[in-house]
């Protein structure tokens, strides 16, 4: 079965100026993938007729489907409708059904239909109108020589309703589409290049209809297997088997699958194991606690935290021995070990976790440069410490140390 290709085209100067973030493209790409349609390009173009017409022509050469968002308002800077009329060689005219819909829209809200609003019902006569159930700007469907253009409002909730109710079903009826199945494997604690080296022969053995993508992000790497075929069930079974082989290579780095981040997966594990956690954060300044408590229901396992930033607070509030700090300093294995054990005792939890380091830009010494971080995990069986050598950027160090701490918990939990 032929792969159906789509291009997403966003129109509007406000996107290029950075005044509005284009969240539509991500949502649309997901919806199209679920429908078996492969997105090959996303393009943004400003409110310039020549640029828009060029973008139309280039997209039509590349793709079977061109989905356009934005530029459907009633003002002079909204260029999409006149450009589509020019591109497809037809004129704009008031569409009776669209006019009735926009009239009813304003009437139901007790507002008068102005001439500017009336122009919302002006459409290229060569298009098929797509009803906007939650707004005033109709969508437009154009078909020519086996290619389809669809223009939709840029307002996210209007576009999503139109896509879900009308556009995607019509596209699936127009184009026979294969099944596209994604299987996402989430790893932590290993860099992209090291991961690639470890699984190189596994990757080379993948069948032609299943492709692997590396998706690195802060502190982790996602692996996405994408299979294209006729049956979702068979693709699911095939990718499941491939993941089982993958686990024999890098299973210690795999923490989950799909869309759940590390703090969510770890939270489920703690809750299922009926374990409680407390945290003492120095260099991470509460960010680790923020990640943990960003998960709904985290109160079932997270009892609290302390941020003993100053030496005095480490001693008086947490209980770190003065001689430990004097001899080894706050950024040391000896201090971090005490911090993890003390916070566990202070909060009477099953697990204690601690962070201490030099986030930067100041505070470094030749022996302890910026990015030097110690983290520790403590339970009644063991205390585990790790030394991290991170970056020279403060915010990055705080986030990386927090993710590393979550991973240390994951690795150290009682089996």
pLDDT of residue 3: 87
How far apart (Å, rounded) are the C-alpha atoms in residues 106 and 115? 12
Q: Which residues have a Cβ under 8 Å from the Cβ of 235 and sit 6 or more positions away?
A: 179, 181, 210, 227, 228, 229
Q: What span, in angstroms and rounded, lies between the C-alpha atoms of 323 and 136? A: 72
Report the chain's terminal Cα–Cα distance, integer Å: 47
Asked if 238 and 246 touch (Cβ cutoff 8 Å), the reply is no
Cα–Cα dist 340/378, whole Å:
6
C-alpha to C-alpha distance for 86 and 135, rounded to whole angstroms: 25
Question: In this structure, what is the dihedral angle of CA atoms 169, 171, 172, 175, given to the nearest 10 degrees?
Answer: 160
Instruction: Give the pLDDT score at 374.
Output: 98
Residues 6+ apart with CB under 8 A from 224: 182, 183, 184, 185, 212, 213, 215
Predicted local distance difference test score (pLDDT) of residue 257: 97
Q: What pLDDT, in 10s, does the model give residues 106-138?
A: 888 888 788 877 888 999 999 999 999 998 899
Residue ranges, the chain, pLDDT below 70: none
């Amino acid at each position: 079965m032929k792969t159906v290709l789509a291009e997403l085209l966003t129109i509007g100067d406000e996107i290029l100026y950075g005044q509005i973030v284009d969240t539509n493209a991500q949502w649309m790409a997901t919806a199209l993938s679920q429908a078996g349609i492969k997105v090959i390009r996303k393009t943004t173009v400003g409110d310039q007729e020549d640029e828009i017409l060029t973008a139309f022509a280039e997209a039509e050469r590349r793709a079977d489907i061109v989905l356009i968002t934005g530029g459907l308002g009633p003002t002079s800077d909204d260029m999409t409708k006149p450009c589509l009329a020019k591109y497809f060689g037809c004129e704009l005219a008031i569409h009776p059904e669209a006019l009735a819909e926009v009239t009813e829209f304003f009437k139901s809200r007790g507002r008068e239909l102005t001439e500017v609003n009336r122009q919302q019902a002006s459409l290229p006569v060569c298009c098929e109108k797509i009803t906007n159930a939650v707004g005033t700007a109709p969508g437009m469907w154009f078909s020519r020589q086996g290619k389809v253009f669809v223009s939709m409002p840029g307002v996210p909730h209007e576009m999503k309703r139109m896509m879900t109710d009308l556009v995607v079903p019509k596209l699936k009826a127009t184009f026979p589409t294969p099944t596209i199945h994604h299987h996402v494997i989430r790893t932590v604690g290993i860099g992209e290049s090291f991961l690639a080296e470890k699984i190189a022969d596994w990757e080379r053995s993948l069948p032609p209809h299943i492709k692997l993508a590396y998706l690195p992000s802060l502190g982790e790497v996602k692996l996405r297997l994408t299979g294209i075929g006729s049956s979702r069930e068979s693709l699911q079974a095939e990718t499941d088997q491939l993941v089982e082989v993958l686990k024999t290579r890098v299973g210690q780095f795999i923490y989950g699958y799909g869309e759940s981040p590390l703090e969510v997966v770890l939270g489920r594990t703690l809750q299922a194991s009926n374990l409680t956690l407390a945290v003492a954060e120095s260099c991470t300044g509460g960010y680790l606690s923020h990640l943990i408590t960003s998960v709904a229901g985290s109160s079932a396992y997270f009892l609290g935290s302390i941020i003993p930033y100053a030496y005095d607070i480490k001693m008086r509030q947490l209980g770190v021995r003065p001689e430990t700090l004097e001899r080894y300093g706050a950024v040391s294995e000896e201090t971090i070990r005490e911090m993890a054990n003390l916070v566990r005792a202070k909060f009477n939890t099953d697990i204690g976790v601690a962070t201490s380091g030099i986030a930067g830009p100041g505070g470094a010494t030749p022996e302890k440069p910026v990015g030097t971080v110690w983290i520790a995990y403590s339970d009644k069986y063991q205390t585990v410490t790790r030394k991290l050598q991170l970056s020279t950027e403060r915010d990055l160090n705080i986030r990386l140390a927090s993710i590393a701490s979550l991973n240390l918990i994951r690795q150290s939990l009682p089996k």
